[in-house]
Amino acid sequence: MAENKPISVDKTVLELYEKAKKDGVNTVFDRAMDMKPCPIGAEGSCCKNCAMGPCRVPLPKKEGGEQKVGLCGATAATIAARNFIRMIAGGASAHSDHGRGVAETFLLAAKGEIPNYRVRDTQKLYQLAMDMGIEIEGREDKDIAVELGEKALAEFGRQTGHISLLEKAPEKRKDIWKKEGVMPRGVDREIVEIMHRTHMGVDQDYKSLLKQGTRAAIGDGWGGSMLATDLQDILFGVPVPVISEANLGVLKKDEVNIIVHGHEPLLSEMIVLASHDPELLSLAKSKGANGINLSGMCCTANEVLMRHGIPISGNFLQQEFAIVTGAVDAMVVDVQCIMQSLVSVASCYHTKIITTNPKADITGATRIEFHEHDALNSAKKIVRSAIENFKNRKGEVVIPNHKSKMIAGFSHETINYLLGGSFRASYKPLNDNIINGRIRGIAGVVGCNNARTTHDSHHLILIKELIKNDVIVLTTGCSAITAAKEGLLTPEAAYEYAGPGLREVCETVGIPPVLHMGSCVDNSRILMAATAVVKDGGLGNDISDLPAAGAAPEWMSEKAISIGHYFVVSGVYTVFSGSETFPVFGSKDVTKYLFEEMQETYGGMWDFTSDPMEMAKKMIAHIDKKRKALGLDKARERVLFDMEARRELV
């Protein structure tokens, strides 16, 4: 964090930061001030893939100065590309391992081997089964589900052909992928191949390296992530609109506060159940608490919000501050985006940090490993331990009085339903209003928080500017939580922030101008929404034809790079911001390729700016360019039909 910038625009963070200082707690913002990012690593110019290095090959300070190469001769381009695709590998593996976990649980549930999980949405079961080429006619649901589970699981280790769900992409997109030879064979294989190719002395052409990155990223977005989303929907239900609240103000002083933090719903779904358990509720009473207050943080929050309306306590950079309130009796974590510092922050208060996932432990945390075979009991054990901890609260409890209402639950299926009801469900009204100009375009605004920039500020400036310009925003992850805290996920926000056209459409459908589509694996929902828009017609034949753009305004994780890349190669112009630089800026060649040349091949490209207003302008300019290409920049005449015109209808 640069000294001259405020740490956050979120009042809860500002208030609790003061308390943390008073309590002698060191937070991510303090560390950001103490430690600058490594300038060479930040630009992707450091190679530490063999013991001859690490080799640093930064851009020459002056134009025309000497460009260093690694000891092995690796150029800055090769090194930047290698580092970049290793980030893709990291991100894709995170999503895909999540997906694999869901697939394993799904298969066990399908077989009836784990009592607390079952197929809940049969319609989506049939649909996904059809997508995966599984016969559904005249078969028991159980048989279909078992075959689907087996087939889904096999997608991860698949070695030949290509991932089945790629078939859902628009035809033109598939043609591009086929032509470029980037259809991923299996989810894991492409990730492993990244690790091989980037090993010392293997693939040493930046375009060739980036192509492998593309394969793995597609395997993430259209493979691992999509399977995770779809299978979770079948197990836990397709999200439908729910009302809830967001920000640390959802914590309750007189109740046992449990925060589920991380990414997967497998455990948190069970904790939701356990938190309603009468026995545990009376235990809580006996310990002097008025109830059990469950809330979520990061994408676990989004998962249980979307399906149960569980409130959200905060996003990534609020995890430490939740503990600083002194009101959190247990923070239950699984995987991804969990700061190791939680344990040291918790040591100043009574909060129990409970690690649960076999893949993720933290030194000094309480460990209650979660097993799906005994899921509800694992969850009850966790909740019980939180209740037991209620009495250990010490010091002052400060819960900031800030929270906002929100409407969430906008799965792709739900949007489709909302736009036409059970009988006329389609994206047609959205397309129509894009064509007639009430809606200028669609933006996907997703991603993390980054302590190198003022917490939440980029998300908010960007989103508000977009909706002011009649661009409807689809959001996920920590970006969605930011929007929720600001009240942007309410229908009322359309009146306060949206341009007149978007406002009118929001009013007609009764939706907020910013639609919460879920967690970061649920970015696959945005891909499906974009595909649905393409297939509904009138806006070109491919995602790259749509007046649409993507953004991660405060990106931080490797997952963001993987997501960004699969959006770009799916045809979306995608802008990043939030970091001080971009991890390929150490190579002009790689930058030029990702930021310019890719557009010719894939129709989408990367971009970066540190200014969120500039980001909005770039996205709107791109949207306008696409509108023009579609001939939507001019007003359309009303077409009146006579009988002859009706006969022309097919």
Partner 1 sequence: MPSLGRRYRAAALSRFTTGEGKELSLLTPLTFHLTSKFGVGIRNTGGKKVSKIIASAGIRGAHKIVERADKKLKESIDKWGPNQDVAFPNSGYYLPIIYGMLGHKVEKLKDMESVISVCKNLLPAPVREKFHLPYLGPALDAGMATFFSEEMLEAIKYIENPNVYVKGEDVTDSNFWLGAADDIIMRKRGVEFVDGTAPGFAAILGAPEDPKIAAKIALELQEKNLYVFMAATTDGRSMPEQLISEGVQVGWGTRLVPFGPESSAAIFAIGFATRAAMSFGGIEPGDYRKILIYNKDRIFAFAITFGYVSDDWYANGLGCVNYGFPIIADTPIPEILPTGICTYEHVVSNIPHESIVSKAIEVRGLKVTVTKVPVPVSYGPAFEGERVRGDDIYLEAGGGRTHAVELVVSSDMNKITDGKIEVVGPDLKDVQPGSRLPLAIFVEVAGRQMQEDFEPILERQIHHLINYAQGIMHIGQRDIAWLRVAKQAVDKGFKLSNIGDILHAKFHQDFGSILDKVQVTIFTEEKKVNEILGKARAIYKKRDDRIAGMTDEDTDPFYSCTLCQSFAPSHVCIVTPERTGLCGAYNWLDCKASNEINPTGPNQPVPKKEVIDARYGQWKGVDEFVSKASRGNVLTADAYSIMRNPMTSCGCFEAISALLPTCNGIMTVDRDTADMTPCGMKFTTLAGTVGGGNVTPGFLGHSKYYITSKKFIAAEGGIKRLVWMPKSLKEEIRDRFSKRASEIGCPDLLDRIADETVAVTEEEVLTYITEKQHPVLTMEPIM
Q: Please name which of 443, 411, 404, 390 lies closest in space to residue 314, comparing C-alpha atoms.
A: 404
Among the listed ranges 390-398, 404-412, 445-453, 603-611, the one in contact with partner 1 (CB under 8 A) is 404-412
Q: Determine which helix (DSSP H) or strand (DSSP E) holds 328, and give its type and residue range.
A: strand 328-333
Q: Please name which of 196, 163, 189 lies closest in space to residue 177, comparing C-alpha atoms.
A: 163
Please, which residue, 247 or 490, has the CB nearer to partner 1? 490
635 in contact with partner 1 (CB under 8 A): no
424 in contact with partner 1 (CB under 8 A): yes
Give the distance from CA 528 to its chain's centroid.
Answer: 14
Instruction: Give how many residues touch partner 1 by CB under 8 A.
Output: 72
Rule CB under 8 A: which of 470-509 touch partner 1? 490-492, 495, 504-505, 507-509
Please, which residue, 365 or 546, has the CB nearer to partner 1? 546
Rule CB under 8 A: which of 28-57 touch partner 1? none
DSSP lists the bridge partners of residue 80 as none
Least distance (Å) from partner 1 to the CB of residue 364? 40
Burial zone of 632 (CB within 10 Å; 0-12 exposed, 13-18 middle, 19+ buried): buried
Least distance (Å) from partner 1 to the CB of residue 41? 40
- Bond into 54 cis (ω within 30): yes
Using an 8 Å Cβ cutoff, are 309 and 288 in contact? Answer: no
Please, which residue, 119 or 616, has the CB nearer to partner 1? 119
Please, which residue, 85 or 511, has the CB nearer to partner 1? 511
Among 416, 479, 519, 587, binds partner 1 (CB under 8 A): 416
User: Residue 548 carries which side chain, given as an amino acid letter?
Assistant: A
Using an 8 Å Cβ cutoff, are 324 and 349 in contact? Answer: yes
DSSP lists the bridge partners of residue 260 as 296, 332
Give the tokens for residue 227.
């399977």
DSSP assignment letter at 220:
I
- The sign one gets for the Cα dihedral 10, 11, 16, 21 is positive
Least distance (Å) from partner 1 to the CB of residue 550? 20
Give the integer Cα–Cα distance in Å for 116 and 428: 39
Give the integer Cα–Cα distance in Å for 126 and 147: 12
Distances (CA, A) of 614 to 547, 551, 576, 608, 619: 18, 12, 11, 10, 9
Q: Determine which helix (DSSP H) or strand (DSSP E) holds 262, and give its type and residue range.
A: strand 256-262
Please, which residue, 131 or 388, has the CB nearer to partner 1? 131
Please, which residue, 124 or 459, has the CB nearer to partner 1? 124
Least distance (Å) from partner 1 to the CB of residue 75? 42
Tokens 């805290």, located at residue: 485
The strand ranges marked E within 334-447 are 352-355, 366-367, 404-408, 441-445
Among the listed ranges 34-42, 65-73, 457-465, 528-536, the one in contact with partner 1 (CB under 8 A) is 528-536
Least distance (Å) from partner 1 to the CB of residue 639? 7
Among 230, 486, 522, 545, binds partner 1 (CB under 8 A): 230
Rule CB under 8 A: which of 284-343 touch partner 1? 309
DSSP assignment letter at 637:
P
Please, which residue, 428 or 588, has the CB nearer to partner 1? 428
Among 393, 535, 588, 617, binds partner 1 (CB under 8 A): 535
Please, which residue, 121 or 589, has the CB nearer to partner 1? 121
Least distance (Å) from partner 1 to the CB of residue 307? 9
What are the backbone dihedrals phi and psi of residue 267, each rounded to the nearest 5 degrees, phi first? -80, -45
Please, which residue, 536 or 589, has the CB nearer to partner 1? 536
Among 64, 73, 278, 421, binds partner 1 (CB under 8 A): 421
Long-range contacts of 619-625 (CB under 8 A, 24+ apart): 619/443, 619/462, 619/466, 619/471, 619/549, 619/551, 619/573, 619/575, 620/440, 620/441, 620/466, 620/469, 620/471, 622/549, 622/573, 623/440, 623/441, 623/443, 623/471, 623/547, 623/548, 623/549, 624/440, 624/547
Least distance (Å) from partner 1 to the CB of residue 641? 6
Least distance (Å) from partner 1 to the CB of residue 524? 10
Among 323, 419, 463, 520, binds partner 1 (CB under 8 A): 419
Rule CB under 8 A: which of 102-121 touch partner 1? 121
Least distance (Å) from partner 1 to the CB of residue 355? 32
Among the listed ranges 14-22, 230-238, 378-386, 578-586, the one in contact with partner 1 (CB under 8 A) is 230-238
436 in contact with partner 1 (CB under 8 A): yes
Please, which residue, 489 or 575, has the CB nearer to partner 1? 489
Rule CB under 8 A: which of 376-395 touch partner 1? none
Please, which residue, 51 or 649, has the CB nearer to partner 1? 649
Using an 8 Å Cβ cutoff, are 351 and 320 in contact? Answer: no
Least distance (Å) from partner 1 to the CB of residue 215? 22
Binding mask 437-476 for partner 1 (x = CB under 8 A): -x--------------------------------------
Rule CB under 8 A: which of 121-180 touch partner 1? 121-124, 126-128, 130-131, 136-137, 167-168
Among 108, 200, 240, 376, binds partner 1 (CB under 8 A): 240
Least distance (Å) from partner 1 to the CB of residue 516? 12
Using an 8 Å Cβ cutoff, are 112 and 140 in contact? Answer: no
Give the integer Cα–Cα distance in Å for 41 and 60: 15
Give the integer Cα–Cα distance in Å for 306 and 277: 21
* 3-class SS string, 609-626: CCCHHHHHHHHHHHHHHH
Among the listed ranges 94-102, 291-299, 443-451, 635-643, the one in contact with partner 1 (CB under 8 A) is 635-643
Name every residue whose Cβ is closer than 8 Å to that of residue 179 and which is 6 or more positions away in sequence: none
CA quadruple 297, 300, 304, 305: dihedral, nearest 10: 50
Longest dimension (CA), the chain: 80
Half-sphere exposure of 201 (CA within 13 A, CB side): 5
Give the tokens for residue 231.
């299978």
Among 39, 41, 90, 429, binds partner 1 (CB under 8 A): 429
Rule CB under 8 A: which of 508-527 touch partner 1? 508-511
